[in-house]
Amino acid sequence: MQVSPTKSDELQMLLNLKASLNNSKTNVFSSWTRENSVCSFTGIICNANGLVKEINLSQQQLQGVLPFDSICALQSLEKISLGSNSLHGSITEDLKNCRSLQVLDLGGNLFSGQVPDLSSLRELRILNLNGSGFSGSFPWYSLENLTNLEFLSLGDNPFDATSSFPAEVLKLNKLYWLYLTNCSIKGQIPEGISNLTLLQNLELSDNLLSGEIPAGIGKLSKLWQLEIYNNSLSGKLPVGFSNLTNLVNFDASHNKLEGELGELKSLKQLSSLQLFENQFSGEIPEEFGELKYLTELSLYTNKFTGSLPQKLGSWSDFIYIDVSENFLTGPTPPDMCKNGKMTDLLILQNKFTGQIPDSYANCKSLIRLRVNNNSLSGTVPAGIWGLPNLIIIDLSMNLFEGPMTPDIGNAKSMGLLILANNQFSGELPAAISHASSLVSVQLSSNQFLGGIPESIGELKKLNSLYLNRNLFSGTIPESLGSCVSLTDINLSGNSFSGEIPESLGSLFTLNSLNLSNNKLSGQIPVSLSSLRLSNLDLSNNQLTGPIPQSLSLEVFRKGFDGNPGLCSNNFRNIRPCSATSSNSSHLRVLLSCLAAGLLVLVISAVWLLFTKQRLKNLDHPLKQGSWDMKSFRVLSFSERDITDAIKSENLIGKGGSGNVYKVVLGNGNELAVKHIWTSNTSTDRKSLRSSSAMLTKRDFRSTEFDAEVATLSAVRHVNVVKLYCSITSEDSNLLVYEYLPNGSLWDQLHSCKEIKMGWELRYAIAVGAARGLEYLHHGFDRPVIHRDVKSSNILLDEEWKPRIADFGLAKIVQAGGGDWSHIIAGTHGYMAPEFGENKDIVYWVCSKMTSKENALDLADSNISENLREDAIKVLKIAMHCTAKIPALRPSMRMVVQMLEEAEPHKLTDVVVVKKEGRRSLVLRVRNLGYKSESQLFELMEPGKAISSELNRNLYEPIEPYSTGFFKVSDLHTIYYEQSGNPSGHPVVFLHGGPGGGTTPSNRRFFDPEFYRIILFDQRGAGKSTPHACLVENTSWDLIADIEKLREHLEIPEWQVFGGSWGSTLALAYSQAHPDKVTGMVLRGIFLLRKKEIDWFYEGGAAAIYPDAWEPFRDLIPENERGCFIDAYSKRLNSDDMETQAFARIENHYFVNKGFFPSDSFLLDNVHKIRHINTTIVQGRYDVCCPMMSAWDLHKAWPEADFKVVADAGHSANEPGIAAELVAANEKLKNIIKNGS
């Protein structure tokens, strides 16, 4: 018989837990001492017997291995919440002893190994292991015993692939939340999914699913979110899909689905629809234009025809549309920015016609406008040029005409201005110089005329300037040399005259200069000699004089053609310069050679001295000191094993970020140890060549290194090199990786040894490397940017499988550098394709791919001829990856798919994909042990004392004649009470908060002889259970509860009374069920719009109640004060149960924007309730729910009676407010009496 632990035993068990975990960032364990009761420990909740019931330590930056032998000895433990930390190690079999566990949240950690058998956790309701690094086979069979599961989240773990969809999941008929994204699930979605009738959220994305979407999915009528993107699903949307009438977010992008969208046209609640990268066809239903909540529509890369619904955006706060790469025709819908919320209008590569509607000239929210590759025409509305938030405008390859207006000067955010291949005309406005964020200006192939404005030099961020093939004239302004970021200039095919400005020689970043086919004269400026140009074309001008010696390169020879006045002694086809010039030139060459020779002698002497000193220092031992070893996997070595092996004889490689050593352990295992360069300058690097010097001359402890290691340690993928641990001291940084015996891909491709790498092996390596990069970009919780992908960073194991190495290290090395480290990163000498034109290997390969024969010449001769065409298919994919415009490059997710389709003899074509689709983000809030934000609400709420005057306004206190508990879902039970006249007119009181609960004084606003008064506590509040629960707790759940309670009490219709949050809920309920409401009284209007939340949590409160605001503010670190509501959502917990419910639930609703589909949802639906007799009561000095909200509601609903109490604030207990509320109820009472 098992003996129950005593309180003393539980104290020791928790102290064991504390000893196993490392926490240096917060004071979470400061109360965990022997002197304190365990029930007072931060994050610990006890039951009525004083035994530990809950452990809540999420988001506390904890590190270490969990001692489940101690944790699961707590026999009353019902909840373990340790998500979003940095816990590592494996989950031991001791977990099976937590038999009372109802909630297990270990998501967002760095665990390794398999998930153990969970069969004994029969009470489990919530299981969250999302994104925790687990691998191997998940014990799906365990789920058969977990019949109480309501919330199952296993996504984003590299589990072994299943052979089919886990049948055990289909038996969990209490599930309302199922998140299995990125779990390596194969097979078809089974028809049995229809058994999960309570599902509200179903996410199966990023798996290996195939086949058709089952018809049974149409039976999941409660679904509000369905995400199945990035699979291989095929076929049409099933008949019956239209039954998902509660669906808000639907994402089936990046599959092979086909057919038309008729099944979606009746889904009235749709807010986000993502179907891009499929094979859908037919017309986009006109009914989409009537969807009142649709804000995001992404249908790009399909086969849609016909026109867009012209009413799109007429009813909803439209935000985003991308229907690019289809066959759509007709005009652009005019109202998509009607409500001023639209950020992205992307309709490129279609067949749209007509003009851009004038309405978009006022769309100040617009960020991206891309309509290129259509047949649009007419002039561009003037206001569009100056939209303040526009970052990219791409109108290229259309039939637009007319001028660019001076409004362009107002486009302060614009980075890309792309107008190429149109019929634009007029002069380039001088105001363009005020568009200070411009990076690229592409105006080629238009009819612009006049000169380049002198003020263009003010564009300090300008990177590329393409004005070629226009009608420009005049001189090139000297001020162009002030555009210090320019890398590409193309002014060819115009009528520029005069001399080439000397100032262009100061553009040290310039790579390409094309001034051909103009009327330029004079000599080529000598200042151009200082530039490191890859492309220079000055052909077909009127230039004269000698070509500067440093520009007399064969690669530039054709760039001087068509200038009869030029001379050179280096080119045969150009006349030689005079003898004097020649002799002078020879003299300069001779002097240069002598100077160079002398410099070589000096350098050689210095190098000899340096080398002697280096050899003396090479074998110096490591500096002894205190080492900090952080392990990320199970280790079989010590830090001493590593540091003792850092010797010159073990050096196996040198890279841009440090040296690499091979370490052979006593058991024969091999490791690779990398020391990270810590110096900020090349001079320092050169002075720290020896291994010992590098390890002992660190100037500072890099916080960037710590942050990067935290990222690297969490990476788990078969194609990414394993990081075992980091070892640091005050002056050294070491990373310990697995050792891969076959070296790098570079070694194998370029080795002098006879190593035959056939195409099959090369292809497999390419696919593996791409999968690794896909994981870093998309499979991790945030993108890990490699910044130095090259063959020497692709390592090969004993089976020739690739591993990506050095990911993230370029970022470490360049941390603290200038902005250019974010633009041109990685190996020195590399230039991304977007920073130059026609000057690199990408351009050379493109020039070779003009025919099949030329393309085949590019293939390595070691690849057999019958496979060379397959190699070219992969090369085409590489060309897409290096597209000139970054937005046209495919994501790594697409690259992997393209490579898989390019398996020898399978690829038929390659589709260019321009960007990633947008995802709908669901924010999940966890609780931490800090004071709640409701403390601010209490401090700010005025007038809590009830005066004798107020007593005269309210009715006398009464007691309920009936109380009860009503089960509204499998999880939630709500408390309700009835008072007053059992046969009277029913009125329901909706309390505030959210999460506030009811009090006896709430009954006193109503005449007890006339009204049947119903009060109830909303989910998680007051006496309702489970207390403070956020699960299944949304506005729509509360609205459903109100309706269920009305039916339960057999009330045909009732009056509704709500204040503060209660007014929000009253509006939402009455709009959903207007036929059930006889009248309303609303107090302290709160419409749950962003500006109201910002007022309360940000500016308004700080200005009016600084004494209350500052304690609220000071609980949050400065780096988190950008959004207090998000900061407090991480910290909400309290020992006081009422405060806990109020604070947690209130924040839960606010951080999720009330779960309403749009910011102005309640105002937009006022038309549904105009007929209801309503009184609005508002205190003019209400700080919590400011007057602006009530005023906006009054303007939208003038039929309602609007009462402003001049000397009142927020509280319903203030005399003036209470009097108006009682009077409003009396008014409705009289209407009912007279009507009867």
pLDDT by residue (tens digit) across 1013-1035?
999 999 988 888 887 788 888 99
Distance CA 515, CA 541 (A): 8
Task: State yes or no: pLDDT of 579 exceeds 60.
Answer: no
Give the DSSP letter of residue 455.
G
Distance CA 93, CA 880 (A): 49
Averaged pLDDT for residues 183-188: 94
Task: State yes or no: pLDDT of 537 exceeds 80.
Answer: yes
Low-confidence winner among 16-20, 502-506, 799-803, 880-884 (lowest mean pLDDT): 880-884
Are β-strands 52-56 and 416-418 bridged in parallel, bridged antiparallel, or unpaired? unpaired
Percent helix / strand / coil, the chain, rounded to 5: 30, 20, 45
Distance CA 155, CA 174 (A): 19
> For residue 892, what is the enclosing H or E element?
helix 892-901
At the fourth CATH level, the homologous superfamily of domain 947-1090+1152-1235 is: Alpha/Beta hydrolase fold, catalytic domain (3.40.50.1820)
Give the DSSP letter of residue 965.
E
Distance CA 982, CA 774 (A): 65
- State yes or no: 674 annotated in a binding site: yes
Structure tokens, 42: 């931060």
Give the DSSP letter of residue 428.
P
SS3 1121: coil
Q: How confident is the model at residue 656 (pLDDT cuts 50, 70, 90)?
A: low
Structure tokens, 95: 């977990």
Examine the residue annotation and report whether 747 is marked as an active-site residue of this protein. no
Low-confidence winner among 265-279, 373-387, 785-799, 800-814 (lowest mean pLDDT): 800-814
Task: State yes or no: pLDDT of 29 exceeds 80.
Answer: yes
Radius of gyration of the chain (CA): 35
1165 and 1064 Cβ atoms separated by less than 8 Å:
no
CB atoms within 10 A of CB 852: 10
Tell me the percentage of the chain whose pLDDT exceeds 70: 76
Torsion of CA 543, 548, 549, 552, to 10 degrees: -40
Highest mean pLDDT pick, 890-899, 937-946, 962-971: 962-971
Averaged pLDDT for residues 336-356: 94
Beta bridge partners of 1011: 985
Buried b (16+ CB within 10 A) or exposed e, 946-975: beeebeebbbeeeebeeeeebebbebbbbb
Tell me the percentage of the chain whose pLDDT exceeds 90: 51
Distance CA 1111, CA 297 (A): 43
Low-confidence winner among 418-422, 530-534, 677-681 (lowest mean pLDDT): 677-681
Question: What is the DSSP code string of 978-999?
Answer: EEE-TTSEEEEEE-STTTT---
At the fourth CATH level, the homologous superfamily of domain 1-160 is: Ribonuclease Inhibitor (3.80.10.10)
Are β-strands 723-729 and 732-738 bridged in parallel, bridged antiparallel, or unpaired? antiparallel
Amino acid 899: pLDDT: 80
Identity of the residue numbered 1205: V
Residue with tokens 């031991």: 92
- Cβ neighbors of 458 (< 8 A, separation 6 or more) are 433, 434, 436, 482
Terminal-to-terminal C-alpha distance of the chain: 71
Amino acid 993: pLDDT: 80
Beta bridge partners of 744: 795
Amino acid 724: pLDDT: 82
- Computed over every residue of the chain, the mean pLDDT equals 81
Segments making up each domain of the chain, as ranges? 1-160, 579-617, 833-918, 947-1090+1152-1235
From 788, 806, 840, 870, active-site residue? 788
Averaged pLDDT for residues 979-987: 94
Q: How confident is the model at residue 478 (pLDDT cuts 50, 70, 90)?
A: very high
Q: How confident is the model at residue 233 (pLDDT cuts 50, 70, 90)?
A: very high
Structure tokens, 156: 């984003």
Q: Region of 1126 please: left (phi>0), alpha (psi -120 to 50) or beta.
A: alpha
Beta bridge partners of 381: none
Low-confidence winner among 231-240, 748-757, 828-837 (lowest mean pLDDT): 828-837
Distance CA 148, CA 127 (A): 11
pLDDT tens profile 137-181: 999 999 999 999 999 999 999 899 999 999 999 999 999 999 999
514 and 468 Cβ atoms separated by less than 8 Å:
yes
> For residue 744, what is the enclosing H or E element?
none
Task: State yes or no: pLDDT of 609 exceeds 70.
Answer: no
pLDDT tens profile 57-108: 998 889 999 999 999 999 999 999 999 998 999 999 999 999 999 999 999 9
Averaged pLDDT for residues 979-998: 91
Are β-strands 519-523 and 1201-1205 bridged in parallel, bridged antiparallel, or unpaired? unpaired
Beta bridge partners of 520: 498
154 and 180 Cβ atoms separated by less than 8 Å:
yes
The vertex-197 CA angle with 196 and 200, nearest 5°, equals 90
Distance CA 294, CA 311 (A): 12
Amino acid 732: pLDDT: 74
Q: How confident is the model at residue 696 (pLDDT cuts 50, 70, 90)?
A: very low
Task: State yes or no: pLDDT of 1042 exceeds 70.
Answer: yes
Better pLDDT: 652 or 1220: 1220
Low-confidence winner among 260-274, 441-455, 779-793, 1191-1205 (lowest mean pLDDT): 779-793
Better pLDDT: 744 or 277: 277
Q: Alpha carbon of 427 to those of 351, 361, 908: distances in Å?
A: 29, 21, 47
Task: State yes or no: pLDDT of 866 exceeds 70.
Answer: no
Q: Is the pTM of this model over 0.85?
A: no
Better pLDDT: 1138 or 804: 804
Question: What is the DSSP code string of 267-304?
Answer: -TT--EEE--SSEEEEEPPGGGGG-SS--EEE--SSEE
